[in-house]
Every structure is written in structure tokens, then in C-alpha cells.
Amino acid sequence: MSRPTVVCILGTRPDAIKMMPVVLELKRRSDEVNCVVLSTGQHREMLEQVFQTFGVQPDEDLGLMKHGQGLAELTGRSLIGLDEAIGRHKPDWVIAQGDTTTTFTASLAAFYQKAKFGHVEAGLRTGDIFNPFPEEFNRVASAIIAEHHFAPTQWAADNLIREGRDASKIFVTGNTGIDAVMRVAQDEEQTWLPDHEGRVILLTTHRRENWGEPQRGIAEACLQLVNENPDCRLVVPMHRNPVVRETLEGVLAGKDRVELIEPPEYAKFVKLMQRSDLILTDSGGVQEEAPSFGIPVLVLRETTERPEGVDVGCAKLIGTDKARILSEARLLLGDSSAYDSMAKTASPYGDGAAASQICDLILGSV
């Protein structure tokens, strides 16, 4: 009897990080399944860092990234490329993660090719189709097509049930991002700021809805925090998008105790999170990862599809208002009891065993 084929599709760095535990587990079971990894190359340079960290290379790189292309062009080229690739491999299952354009087009291409689609990190919702944009649409649309929904938490599973998805096809597995971050945290040595004995504030901001004035206010607030706290250093990995870089550099370049750095490879970024004392972010993945290390997270967004951390108290949703950012960060930097109440709250996002559960469910359905 021939082995079933599972095609794993990824396109951005977050996709790749959260798909790697699933890919590695499928490859570990190579006597049971043929695992094919397809990359759309949506974040090409940053993807290569992830591949090197986990020792995996894609079987095919569709090379769909093109400078200056808009969402419509990326969607169209991705759909055509993935439809052709899935047609060549004729998989039993197509698996993709999250809420990117690659994930949406992977689900649609799987539907066109009549392959079962498994959605990793299913059920995240804000309830606002434009926030985050276009991610909220991507994940809602992917859910319509999915044969199996691998929800990271019960809250995410409940969202899918409320939308009318078949409860027998919804599985709470934990988040594969926790699998990835725990694996890397154990393997890598700490190399960040060995000569700095004080505190570290980590800022990551790249969301489209924060471009322009919101991002400028974020940067100004962080600079003021550094100026008010002489023991603190601010580290800012800058997204490669020039719109983001122009704003951050305009406010923060050349300032004392501020480091603007290139996006570190994933393993180094994990160690940077561990080295940090406070994280300000609009990233979804960082909201999930940081609580694993007991680091308070201030979420620079108006809505979040990851409310579990906010609900239990390890993260706080504060938006982008400069005064609010300063108020919340000052509280954590100046009040040890407020800090400890967030830092000592257990993460709600899983125990690092999500990938094995997902593979069990996939292989049990072919």
C-alpha cells in the first residue's frame, strides 16, 4: 500500500516557524507518510533563516515574491502557482497555517484540486473583517474550505462552532508556535547584550494598520521610556518593509541606548525575547511566544485574535495611543508587583505537543 502524501504550504516567516514542528513530525514518520514542503516565497530572505534553523529545505520554492506587488497580484500569482503545484503532487491532504495570503490561496487551490485542507491555528477571530487586514478575511475564508480545523485553544474552537463549522472536525491541539519556540530555546545559547546589566525593552511593530502616525507615536513613546529609565536599552528589529523602516529610523536612529537591528534569524530572536524584560509588539506570534518565558507583553493593537493571554493576564491590549503606551509601560517598569502579576501568569497557548497531535489526526484520516 502506497504512503499518503501531505503537502505543507508556507510563505512567510511566521508561517514557516509554526509549520516546522508539523513538517519535522511528518518527516519523522516517513515510513507512514510522504511529506512535501512547498514555499511561495512570500518572505523569501526571512524564510531561509527559518529553514536553516530547523534543518529543512522546501521541496519546491514557487518564488512568487515580486517587489511592489499589491495584494491582488500576490493573491492571483499565488493561487495559480499553488494550483499547479498541488495538481502535480496530487496530495491526500494540504496543510497550511494561520492567516496569510499564502494560507488563503492554499486553501482555495486545495479546494480546486479536490484535496482535503487542514488549517493549523484555526479559529482566531477579531470580528472585524478589516482588522487586521487582510488577515481576518484570510482565516475566515480558509475555515469555509477546511476539512480539519486545528484550533490552538478552546476559545478558538468555540469561534468556529459559533460560525457553524462541524464540531467533529474541530480539534484543540495547542499552538505549534509553542512547539517551535520551546525547541529553539533549549538548543541555542544566549548571546544578546552580554555587557548590559540593566533591563531590555523589545519593540516589534510592522502591522499595516499601524503604519504612519500610529507607528511614529509608538516609537516616540519607546524613546521617552528609555530616556526616563537610564538602566534600560531598547532593541528594535526592523521589518524589511521600507514604510516601517522610514518611520522607525526617523524617530529612533542614533539615539542613546537604542539599537535598530535587522530582523534576527528565528533562533536569535527567541533568545532576544528571553533576554528582554518587557515586550511591546503588534505581532501575533510574539503575543503567544513571550508568555512561555514569563515576559509581560503590551499589545500595540486595538483588537487581538489572541485574547487568551489578555484574559489570563500575561498580556495587555493597549492600542497605539502614545499616552496609553507610556502609562502602561511606566507601571510595569516602576511597580514590581504589577510586573510580577503579569510575568508569573502561566501561558495559555499550549505545552509544546501540538504537532504530534496534528499529525496523528491527519494520518488517522487518510
List the chain domain ranges. 5-175+350-363, 193-343
**Domains 5-175+350-363 and 193-343 are alike in CATH topology:** yes
Q: Does position 191 have pLDDT exceeding 90, yes or no?
A: no
121 is catalytic: yes
239 is catalytic: yes
Selected catalytic residue, list 25, 83, 121, 136: 121
Give the Cα separation of 131 and 114 in Å (integer): 31
147 is catalytic: no
User: Which amino acid is residue 304, in one-letter code?
Assistant: T
User: Which amino acid is residue 9, in one-letter code?
Assistant: I
* The CATH number, out of the four listed (3.30.410.10, 3.40.50.2000, 3.40.50.2020, 3.40.50.620), of the domain defined by the range 5-175+350-363: 3.40.50.2000
Selected catalytic residue, list 92, 99, 302, 305: 99
Higher pLDDT, 65 or 320: 320
pLDDT at 240: 84
For all residues of the chain together, what is the average pLDDT?
93
CA geometry: angle 127, 130, 132, nearest 5 deg:
80
Compute the Cα dihedral for 14, 16, 17, 23 and give only its sign.
Answer: positive
Higher pLDDT, 265 or 137: 137
pLDDT at 299: 97
DSSP state of 42: T
The pTM for the full model equals 0.83
Give the Cα separation of 281 and 301 in Å (integer): 8
Give the Cα separation of 344 and 346 in Å (integer): 6
Which DSSP string do the residues of 179-245 spell out, in sequence order? HHHHHHHHHPPP-S-TT--SEEEEEE---GGGTTHHHHHHHHHHHHHHHH-TTEEEEEEPPS-HHHH
Whether 346 contacts 290, CB under 8 Å: no
CATH number of the domain located at residue range(s) 193-343 in this protein: 3.40.50.2000
Residues β-bridged to residue 259: 235
pLDDT at 63: 87
Whether 235 contacts 201, CB under 8 Å: yes
Mean pLDDT to the nearest integer, 146-167: 97
Grid cell listed for 178: 509553542
99 is catalytic: yes
Of 188-202, 280-294, 351-365, where does mean pLDDT reach its minimum? 188-202
Q: Does position 186 have pLDDT exceeding 70, yes or no?
A: yes
Buried b (16+ CB within 10 A) or exposed e, 63-75: ebbeeeeeeeebb
DSSP alpha helices (H): ranges in 294-321?
307-312
97-144 per-position pLDDT tens digit: 999 999 999 999 999 999 999 999 999 999 999 988 899 999 999 999
67 is catalytic: no
Selected catalytic residue, list 43, 119, 239, 257: 239
Mean pLDDT to the nearest integer, 136-162: 97
pLDDT at 1: 57
Whether 156 contacts 123, CB under 8 Å: yes
Q: Does position 311 have pLDDT exceeding 60, yes or no?
A: yes
15 is catalytic: no
25-79 per-position pLDDT tens digit: 999 999 999 999 999 987 677 788 889 989 999 999 998 877 788 899 999 999 9
